[in-house]
Structure 1
Amino acid sequence: MSTATAPDGTPAGAVAVLANPVAGRGRRTGLLPTVCDLLAGTGRPVHLLAASSAAEASDACRAAVAGAAAALVTVGGDGTVHAALQALAGTGVPLGPVPTGTGNDFAAATGFPTDPIAAVTLIADALRTGREHRVDLARVSAAGRPDHWYGAVLAAGFDAIVNERANRMRWPSGPSRYDLAILIELARLRARRYRVTLDGEPYELDAVLVAVGNCASYGGGMRVCPAADPTDGLLDVVVAGPVGRGTLIRIKPRVYRGSHLDHPQVRGFRARQVTLDAAGVVGYADGERLGPLPVTVTAVPGALRLLR
């Protein structure tokens, strides 16, 4: 009997693997053969997806899902997971994230071990036994753009502005580019007027930081939405008001502990649907560029199956 194959070569029933070789600055490059061996031990064929960009990664994942892959395993960080979510959301194909990036917030928030070998061992066991868990995803809609999905946090304030600045810079290279972007944007810091709609209720407010979380953290453990739960069907919205540079610098370290909500200038909300609009702000979700505001974010319960 012949076996059906996806256009990209993924056999039906295979475990498709999307690996980012530069995740975690390449420190885990040698891990991939071990991951594939452990997955092959489940008795399913393993197929590595070829991609040299985020767009190609999402396209490769879509082709694998269309070709009836049994599961999709990512080897990388939140950006690699993000590419996979564009293909997996709302389908019956489960995800197994092996965390090897500098930021692995979605994997950590959804119960996967931080050690990659422990994570792939858990994923392989779930494949063998047919064990799956459902979690929510956030769907982003914007006029003139296709819907987009994310798993962790959408940033639409200072952090997003820093990302946008860093992505435009050609010098310096490496992490120092982001550090320089922070200094530049701190010097230019100003509150912006946001129009926020929470489940149909409109608000106008001035803020320097706005985040919409399906999960609690972003940026490698910054618990910006500390109470966010990816199984409750709700989005957590955190807003830091019109604070100055000194106050923002003092608040930011508290984000790692999730204690910033105690500050009088920081507020938290919950809603099933959130619309954000502010002039000159580009949204970033899971660290990936989405595009300019306005955007509408909707919590979609149980949109993703996880191998855990």
Structure 2
Amino acid sequence: MPGPPAGDPADRLPVAGGPVAVLANPTAGRGRHRALLPRLLEGLAGAGRPVRLLAASSPGEAEAACRAAVAEGAGALVAIGGDGTVHRAMQAVAGTAVPFGPVPAGTGNDFALDTGFPADPVAAVDVIASALRADRTHVVDLARMTGVDGVERWFGAVLAAGFDAIVNERANRMRWPRGPRRYDLAILVELARLRPRRYTLRLDGVPHDLDAVLVAVGNCPTYGGGMRICPAADPTDGLLDVVVAGRVNRRTLIRVKPRIYRGTHVGHPLVTSYRARTVELAADGIVTYADGERSLELPVTISAVPGALRLLR
């Protein structure tokens, strides 16, 4: 199995009885769980460990705070928020022995739900606290991607590298309108511009050149708050699922997209599914989105890393 990226303390064991570092995003899920934070921290403290709330005012600071906590010997790391918060915290514990607990408190909670945590934040904290008391962990796979410049990132759920990534990229560049309407407008703009792009896909070394409008690489089945884009993906099988929508026109994409919530889109004749340990993906002008977060520009190499994360479950 490939080793963890340079700089990650893979050989660092969590300090026995060490503090539980907590990354909390009070704005996740539009702040609807903000008032729950004291109760969630109290629940974690019930495991008999000191609880340390990490200070961060930006995604970059959040990731740095998690890395520092792990380097300083945290006994565990807990992320309270949505997939973005989980993704940032995950970078610090992937490939290490430090156990991790995702508490679903965001708009999209795909990784936490796909790996068996309750949807209710209080119930999820109860599961994590019970695992801490019993010193119990459950290992799952992660996906590690590497850019052409050697930069490495981990993701737990899904990497988007097609239409959805392009929409996210446009929405992030827009300054108006604010809120969900900005994303809706970005969809309309990109639908008007929809065209298949040429991708080079290598699956365990076997090349596939194809034209596609949507490419997703999944360690878990869902993204975007419950859309089952890679419905057969299993975060314990040591494999990545790749779902490709080929030369799909606007009308077909609009018609097929609602089926993604049920995972039945994979039965469409223009949708193809693959499975591999290593995925090499290239196309011009695509910035990928991993776990909903802006990530590396194509080309990238993505590898399934079995047992890369120890979940407190």
The match for 1:201 is: 206
1:127 paired to 2:132: yes
Aligned ranges 1:125-204 → 2 under 5 Å: 125-204=130-209
Query: How far 1:243 moved relative to its partner?
Result: 0.8
For residues 291 and 166 of structure 1, the distance between their equivalents in structure 2, rounded to whole angstroms, comes to 17
1:206-229 superposed Cα distances (whole Å, 9 cap, x missing partner): 000000000000000000000000
Does the residue aligned with 2:220 lie in a helix, a strand or coil? coil
Alpha-carbon distance, 1:290 to partner: 1.0
Distance 2:279 2:38 in 1: 42
In the alignment, the residues of structure 1 paired with residue 74 and residue 287 of structure 2 have an alpha-carbon distance, to the nearest angstrom, of 34
How far residue 30 of structure 1 moved from its aligned partner, in angstroms, is 0.6
1:69 maps to what in 2? 74
Counterpart Cα distance in 2 of 1:109 and 1:306: 12
Which of 64, 84, 88 is residue 89 of structure 2 equivalent to? Answer: 84
Amino acid at match of 1:153: V
Q: Does 1:252 align with 2:257?
A: yes
1:281 and 2:286 are equivalent in the alignment? yes
Q: Output the CA distance in 2 between the equivalents of 1:232 and 1:11.
A: 30
Q: CA deviation at 1:291?
A: 2.6
The 1-side partners of 2:224 and 2:263 are apart by 13
Runs of 4+ aligned structure 1 residues displaced above 4 Å come to: none
Q: Per-residue deviation at 1:53?
A: 1.2
Q: Is the 8 A contact 1:11 1:67 kept in 2?
A: no
Scaled by the length of structure 1, the TM-score of the pair is 0.96
SS of alignment partner, residue 166 of structure 1: helix
Paired residues, number? 299
Partner AA of 1:86 in structure 2: Q
State the alpha-carbon separation in 1 of the partners of residues 73 and 296 from structure 2: 31
C-alpha RMSD over aligned residues = 1.2
Give the one of 12, 24, 33 matched to 1:28.
33
Q: List gaps (5 residues or longer) in structure 1.
A: 1-9
Aligned-pair CA distance for 1:89:
0.5
SS at 1:202 equivalent: strand
CA contact (8 A) 2:16 2:75 kept: no
In structure 2, distance between residues paired with 1:278 and 1:93: 36
1:220 to 203, 225, 231: 225
Among 281, 288, 295, the residue aligned to 1:290: 295
Alpha carbons 1:11, 1:45 under 8 Å: kept: no
Counterpart CA distance in 2 for 1:181 and 1:304 is: 34
- Sequence identity of aligned pairs in percent? 71
1:302 corresponds to: 307
Deviation, 1:193, is 0.5
Partner letter of residue 76 of structure 2? Answer: A
Q: Read off the aligned partner of 1:273 and give its amino acid letter.
A: T
Q: Distance in 2 between matches of 1:66 and 1:281?
A: 34
User: 2: distance between equivalents of 1:208 and 1:172?
Assistant: 26
The C-alpha deviation readout for 1:65-123, integer Å capped at 9, x for no partner, is 01111111111010001001110001111111110000000000000000111100010
User: Where does residue 103 of structure 2 map in the other structure?
Assistant: 98
2:235 equivalent to 1:236: no
SS at match of 1:144: coil
Q: Is the contact made by 2:17 and 2:49 (CA closer than 8 Å) also made in structure 1?
A: no
Which residue is 2:216 aligned to?
211
Identify which range, 140-149 or 273-282, moves more after superposition. Answer: 140-149
> What is the 5 A alignment of 1:7-46?
13-46=18-51
Q: Quick one: which of 261, 268, 274 aligns to 1:263?
A: 268
User: Which AA in structure 1 matches 2:181?
Assistant: S
Contact 1:216/1:226 (8 A) holds in 2: yes
Distance 2:150 2:187 in 1: 29
Instruction: Report what 1:111 is aligned to.
Output: 116
Kindly tell me: are residues 243 and 92 of structure 1, through their superposed partners in 2, closer, same or farther at Cα, counting changes over 3 Å? same
SS of the aligned residue for 1:205 comes to strand
Q: Deviations over 1:141-181 (max 9, x none)?
A: 01224210000000000000000000000100011100000
Aligned counterpart, 2:9: none
Question: 1:55 offset after TM fit, Å?
Answer: 1.1
